[in-house]
Structure 1
Amino acid sequence: MTETLNQNEANWESQSLKDFSEKAYLDYSMYVVLDRALPHVGDGLKPVQRRIVYAMSELGLTAAAKPKKSARTIGDVLGKYHPHGDSACYEAMVIMAQPFGYRYPLVDGQGNWGSPDDPKSFAAMRYTEARLAPYAGVLLSELGQGTVDWGPNFDGTMEEPEVLPARLPNVLLNGTTGIAVGMATDIPPHNLREVASACVRLLENSRTPLEELCEYIQGPDYPTEAEIITSREDIRKVYETGNGSIRMRAAWNKEEGEIVITGLPHHTSGSKVLEQIAEQMRQKKLPLVADLRDESDHENPVRLVVVPRSNRVDSEQLMNHLFATTDLERNYRVNLNVIGLDGRPRVRNLKELLSEWLQFRLQTVTRRLQHRLGKVQARLHVLEGLLVAYLNIDEVIQIIRDEDQPKPVLMKRFGLSDHQAEAILELKLRHLAKLEEMKIRGEQDELEAERQKLEKTLGSPQRMKTLIKKEILADAERYGDDRRSPIVSRSAAKPLDETDLVPSEPVTVVLSKRGLARAAKGHDVDPVGLNYKSGDGYLASAQGRSNQLAVFMDSTGRSYTVPTHTLPSARGQGEPLSARVNPPDGAEFAGVMIGQEDDRWLLVTDQGHGFVCRLGDMYSRNRKGKAVLTVPKGAQVLPPTPVVDPEHDWIAVAGSEGHFLTFPLVDLPELSRGKGNKLMGIPPKRLKAGEERVVAATAFDEADSLVLYSGQRYKRLSPTELEEYVGERGRRGYKLPQGWRKVDDLVPQARLSGK
């Protein structure tokens, strides 16, 4: 023997580090998989959960008992069954007691057991008390009836059940999560009534297809009123493969113009959601929201109020944005990985999982009935011996009085077994009355009828199925409830663009000569009369909406895009655009545009070239802008002007020497970038020498008047008067009347309110 031990020790010492490490790691991996992280298909519990429930039952902490300190339970669990850390064990117990975390809690806790906002805010185990919840009876009621195998605890001093005899598929009802070595499990909770119906259907017909089972089990059912928005087709695929994901979205409604959130996704903190929304408000990324309130209380566990800035805010769009950017919408992984009846972990689909549990249930009920049958037969055997004793009471008494060892004598005289003789010898004198004989015969009849019933049930697969079906339906009636998580197919939410989040209000964007920009509320603003810094003044303005993008053009023909709502108020003197964008060195800003993407604008240089451009073609996300208008050397960019009707508008061009020309807008091309075509013909020599330039150009309606500005004076040209200056595009034009040949600006009468 000693030689064998020495040889084994020598073999162990001579192992290579690779072999030893590999075996040690595999042993550890199997231990984590089978004894810590994954649930068993039978009772749906991990070992620590099973040991907590069993220890509480051994302490007599049933649903009807007085609760005891949690430390007492944890002490028993650690000392007898689960030699691990007390904090991890207590946390496992807490999770089974939290109604917002467990669909059907196994533990009934008293004291502070955490809250939905902070599930880990529970009190220490020395302060809380606990007992088993009524639902725990589903796992424990058949434990002492020979239904499951028992094994030694960690030190071999006592035995513990290897699995609990669950009467319902708890593995699906409460679900579980766990991370092992190289594998994990994520099983969502389900509704008891739905799962029970599917089990009954599978009992009636084992060939029921998974599609039909999905008609009974619509999807997971979390302990929250939030919506499951995954489509039924995607849910079916999850059940078909055992892998996938489920998406949940908060439930909400409108009350007096306010948005009230009444249900949060599983394991979502209301305070964290409010922090996420408040952070967006602090960063000015959520101007649609004016206020937040948490009105949750005992009667309303979840009641978060979001107050929109105005009644014009689209609540659906706002909530879709919040769903996409906060925990109001979350994704939950599904991985139906459990330890099967063969002791091996494997991912199963829904039908396989239910079928294997029904197989477990069939084995459990068979063992229960066989155990009961053995008890009945043993009792009938004893009753037969007692009846013999009553029929021969005098002779039995005589033998007991006269014999030193009456047991073998009784066995030989009346043909009794050892158990029968022992039962006779243990009879009390008061049980020798005549009435006891009648009780024995009555008990015999009852037990005989029970024996026949048990044998018939055990001998008939159909009777077994019927019995299991009745028990499942009875438990479903007792513990079942309505679905809490409604299933509503919706597409995943997407965040809104920054401009979509801004309320649409009329604004006037004003640009100064030094490149300072600001936004004034409304369109009835006099941009020239605003307050400017010393040495600065009005350059250009444009009217639009606060949720639109403002496009600024510089002297090099580059365009820059700035969200209008981010511009400072017109109460101040503006903010330098150079702080928002990076124009080339020496460039100055020449104009501002705002409107819809499809709006057209007239872009012109003072050398008389230009074209019509869509506003959307000038958008740029780059701080360095986008090259749109090609500016010849020595040329300047004139302020862009809006085009109202590209098909019918006209263009008016004024030169520095008093020439004036109008022609149809359709004669000018629409481009996304470039130099454009010639609007007014200026002699090349005069143009090159800088002696003559285009000083103003605008688009106007043919039925509109045009106002010519010359210093502080202005002259209005009616549509009839404008006909005198109609010519071909690219011509020199016609001379204006004496005294009006120094034009500073051209403004259509329809836009005069903006001056």
Structure 2
Amino acid sequence: MADTQANDGDATEQISLRQYAEKAYLDYSMYVILDRALPHVGDGLKPVQRRIVYAMSELGLKATAKYKKSARTVGDVIGKFHPHGDSAAYEAMVLMAQNFSYRYPLVDGQGNWGSPDDPKSFAAMRYTESRLARYAEVLLEEVGQGTVDWAPNFDGTLKEPSILPAQVPNVLLNGTTGIAVGMATDIPPHNLREVVDAAVHLLENPKASVADLCAFVRGPDFPTDAEIITPEEDLRSIYESGRGSLRMRAVWERENGDIIIHALPYQTSGARVLEQIAQQMQARKLPMVADLRDESDHESPTRLVIVPRSNRVDGEALMSHLFATTDLERSYRVNLNVIGIDGRPGVRSLERMLGEWLEFRRSTVRRRLEYRLDRVQKRLHVLAGYLIAYLNIDEVIHIIRTEDEPKAALMARFGLTDVQAEAILELKLRNLAKLEEMKIRTEQDALEKERDELEKLLGSDARLKTLIKKELRTAAERYGDDRRSPIVIREEAQAFSELELVSADPITVVLSEKGWIRAAKGHEIDPMTLSYKSGDGFKLAARGRSNQPAVLLDSTGRAYTVPTHNLPSARGQGEPVTGRISPPSGAVFNGLLMGDGSQRYLLASDAGYGFIGRLGDLQAKNRAGKAVLTLPKGAEVLPPSPVAEDASWVAAVSSEGRLLVFPLEDLPALARGKGNKIIGIPSARLQAREEFVVGVLALGDDDALVIHAGRRHLTLKAAELEHYRGERGRRGNKLPRGFQRVERLARG
């Protein structure tokens, strides 16, 4: 179908559905963007907010006036300027009155205007009363001074201001959020004094960078004492791009052992935070917390009390967990999207935002001065006419009494203008006193002096700039305050791991020959006495705590980590360990270890190579484990041997009954690898598996070595071990007759 065509028979215009829908949606989009959702850079207000403030000023509801019912204001707003629902207008008004929502509230409310716990709990507009806050003067003070462009209201019967003449960058001070079509805005509030200092600096240094301005505007300043923990470089990046996110964290302290939270992040409900903590307590995820209380009152608006179970509870770790898992720490999106002075929406950097506002302010001040100059000149013109009349008062009176057209006669006789003649004719008799000439001359002198000052200001950019700076600093002194939200450096919050929430009870982990694993409470249990499935039996056991993981070492040299707090009870027969880890096919387990991460173990292969490793280095995060011990071709893994703190020697025995003892320090400490040679075995015998290492053990200086061979055992005391001592990697000496087939070694 053609884009537009007219039928010959009638005046009906036809248009394609696609074109109609596209235009209708585009019109709607622009309406939402420009007339509803986004603030203007000049006054920082959306249309509904601007209309509420202006309507209240028209009702005379200044900061010094008596409160009036909010329904009166809402009625004027929706009846005169904003043809939308009363609830939407009232909610916008409530937001401007909440000192926990606005950094510098524009409305002073009396009654129930909501609370930080529930901002929507405000009373109906027929109950609350309101007037403008003192801060609203920065938006309204210059409205009647020729600074405003007026536009017709929705029905054309009234005029409303297009933009209010803000004396400070309100767009940054109170911030705003809004969702339009295809775009949104999220501007955080800022501190008035900081923003004014930055604006003055930019006025003096037009080429100042965002980094220069960030020396004054360190970051947002919310109406809460909670901390901003976003690094300064990230904040600078936000101000450079106009987009990003920042994080806030609650402020707390210890008081008689309790944890007291006395400041919450912006728009965070204390009741919601307590609910989140209570849910974790019910789920047994906070065993270290005994009680919660909300002690907030009028004097302490935020006072949440967390009672630990004992004074030994680490408050820093507990709060770090709560920061990571509750609303005690929150992130906020930043999107500095506003309608510029050119009428177009866009995301702006801090430098551009302040630059556009200063341009708007310069234009506003110039219009105000020009308006005042025009008024002064008009008054001086009238006063000049008055002076002529008073100097010729008798003749003026005679003309007025005798002439049919006194106005024209006066203009012809004294050379008056129409305006002057009209002003003389409207004079009241009471103003014809003798002293009136002196008053006229005094007023004339004052106005002439003011006219000269105004002309100087308008004729000099430097003087105009100085005036703007002076007025900015005056506003900062009158309405400014100290920063509320401190910017601090904090470590990233870490939630408790599942293991950290488990009590450290003693347990014994048992692994069967077929790879079934289970855990028994305590260290007294004998794993040999447990019941096993038919054809299965005991293989490995380790003692530790329920908050310590178990490390399994398989025949390929890979290590696996298995959490122990949720292992099945030893009263049953356990579960296959392969349900928790994924070892290679055919691998068997040669070691089961538990303990502190700093515990050392002697890891070796039966090819005679090994090293000293830490238990913490053996722990793996994934099911497939990690390669720890590199095996020579044909070699097998030996059971790991614990290395005690007093250990200083290594004993190694081969399958041919050769024993070598050498210093422990000769073995390297590694996280993974093949290690160094422990005992020398001819490579031919090693490859043919005719001889290999059957056991290694770490000994102290005074320890004896117990050698088990079948039912026989041999105990070699420290002095007797001298015969077997040598350099690492040597062949070693033969053990006595009957101990040529050693099965295992033990400390005596």
TM-score bracket, normalised by the shorter chain, equals 0.7 to 0.9
Given the superposition, is the C-alpha separation of residues 673 and 309 from structure 1 closer, same or farther in structure 2, using an over 3 Å criterion?
farther
Does residue 1:340 correspond to 2:336, yes or no? no
**What does 1:627-638 correspond to in 2, within 5 Å?**
none
Cross-structure match for 1:105:
105
SS at match of 1:144: coil
- Given that 2:247 and 2:330 are in contact with CA atoms closer than 8 Å, whether structure 1 keeps it comes out as yes
Cα deviations by residue, 1:269-295 (Å, 9 ceiling, x for unpaired) = 333333444444444445555544433
Answer yes or no: is the 8 Å Cα contact 1:528–1:538 preserved in 2. no
Residue by residue over 1:130-169, the C-alpha shift from the partner in whole angstroms, topping out at 9 and shown as x without a partner, is: 2111000000011011111000011111110000011111
Matched letter for residue 475 of structure 2? D
Aligned to 1:526: 524
Between 341-350 and 643-652, the greater mean CA deviation after superposition: 643-652
Indicate whether 1:91 and 2:91 are aligned: yes
Taking the aligned partners of 2:738 and 2:387, their CA distance within structure 1 comes to 139
Q: What is the alpha-carbon root mean square deviation over aligned residues?
A: 5.0
The residue correspondences of 1:453-472 to structure 2 (distance < 5 A) are: 453-472=453-472
Against the structure 1 CA distance between its residues 673 and 430, is the aligned structure 2 distance closer, same or farther, given a 3 Å change threshold? closer
Segments of structure 2 that go 5 or more residues without pairing to the other structure are: 631-635, 682-692
State the AA in 2 paired with 1:509: T
Secondary structure (helix, strand or coil) at the match of 2:48 reads: helix
Q: TM-score normalized by structure 1? A: 0.79
Q: 2:702 aligned with 1:703, yes or no? A: yes
Query: Following the alignment from structure 1 to structure 2, what is the Cα–Cα distance between the partners of residues 530 and 478?
Result: 84
Q: Retained in 2: the 8 A contact 1:527–1:538?
A: no
Is the partner of 1:108 in helix, strand or coil? Answer: strand
Change (3 A) 1:76 1:500: same
1:40 partner SS = coil
Rounded to whole Å, the distance in 1 between the matches of 2:263 and 2:70 is 31
Match of 1:507 in 2: 506
What TM-score comes out, normalization by structure 2 length?
Answer: 0.79
Cα offset, 1:83, TM superposition: 1.6
Q: Which residue of 2 aligns with 1:180?
A: 180
For 1:399 and 1:8, the matched residues in 2 are separated by: 71
Aligned counterparts, 1:397-412, within 5 A: 397-412=397-412
Q: Report the equivalent of 2:159.
A: 159
**Partners in 2 of 1:463 and 1:557 — Cα distance?**
82
SS class of match (2:261): strand
Show CA shifts across 1:387-437 (max 9, x none): 333333333333434445433333333333333333333333322222333
- 1:82 maps to 82
How many angstroms apart in 2 are the aligned matches of 1:8 and 1:119?
61
Secondary structure (helix, strand or coil) at the match of 2:273 reads helix
Summarize the Cα distance change of 1:72–1:530 in structure 2 as closer, same or farther, 3 Å threshold. Answer: farther
Match of 1:137 in 2: 137
Q: Residue type matched to 1:498 in 2?
A: S
Q: Distance in 2 between matches of 1:356 and 1:252?
A: 40
CA distance in 2, matches of 1:732, 1:444: 127
The answer for unaligned runs of 5 or more in structure 1 is 631-635, 682-693, 738-742, 750-755
Offset of 1:73 from its aligned partner? Answer: 1.6
CA deviations over 1:527-554 (Å, ceiling 9, x no partner): 4599989999999764445543133689
Contact 1:554 / 1:637 at 8 angstroms: preserved in 2? yes
Alignment match, 1:595 = 595
- Note if contact 2:505-2:547 (Cα within 8 Å) is conserved in structure 1: no
How far did residue 97 of structure 1 move?
1.5
Instruction: Identify if the C-alpha distance between structure 1 residues 393 and 18 changes in structure 2 by more than 3 Å, giving closer, same or farther.
Output: same
Residue in 1 that maps onto 2:426: 426
Residues 150 and 10 of structure 1: CA distance in aligned 2, closer, same or farther (over 3 Å): farther
Within a 5 Å distance, the mapping from 1:58-77 to structure 2 comes to: 58-77=58-77
1:308 shift after superposition:
4.7
Q: How has the CA–CA distance of structure 1 residues 138 and 259 changed in structure 2, closer, same or farther, with 3 Å as cutoff? A: same
Does 1:517 find its partner at 2:519? yes
Q: Counterpart of 1:14 in 2: which secondary structure?
A: strand
Q: Is the 8 A contact 1:603 1:638 kept in 2?
A: yes
Aligned 8 A contact 2:61 2:132 in 1: yes
- The change in CA–CA distance for 1:104 and 1:432 in structure 2 (over 3 A counts) is same
1:321 and 1:496 in contact (8 A); partners too: yes
For 1:235, the equivalent position in structure 2 comes to: 235
Map residues 302-701 of structure 1 onto 2, 5 A cutoff: 302-308=302-308, 310-490=310-490, 493=492, 495=494, 498=497, 501-502=500-501, 507-509=506-508, 511=510, 516-520=518-522, 526-528=524-526, 542-544=542-544, 547-551=547-551, 561-565=561-565, 576=574, 581=580, 592-597=592-597, 599-601=599-601, 615-616=615-616, 619=619, 642-644=642-644, 648-649=648-649, 664=661, 701=700
| Distance in 1 (alpha carbons) for counterparts of 2:565 and 2:240 | 50
CA contact (8 A) 1:139 1:167 kept: yes
CA distance in 2, matches of 1:577, 1:730: 43
Equivalent residues of 1:611, 1:671 under 8 A apart: no
- Secondary structure in 2 matching 1:374: helix
Instruction: Name the residue aligned to 2:690.
Output: none
Q: How many residues were matched structurally?
A: 718
Counterpart residue number, 1:684: none
Alignment-derived partner of residue 125 in structure 1: 125
Matches of 1:296 and 1:538 in 2, distance apart? Answer: 60
Which stretch of structure 1 is more off in the superposition, 140-149 or 273-282? 273-282
Q: C-alpha displacement at 1:87, in angstroms? A: 2.6
Residue 753 of structure 1 is matched in structure 2 by none
Match of 1:37 in 2: 37
Structure 2: distance between partners of 1:672 and 1:22: 66
CA distance in 1, matches of 2:8, 2:268: 55
Secondary structure at 2:119's aligned position in 1?
coil
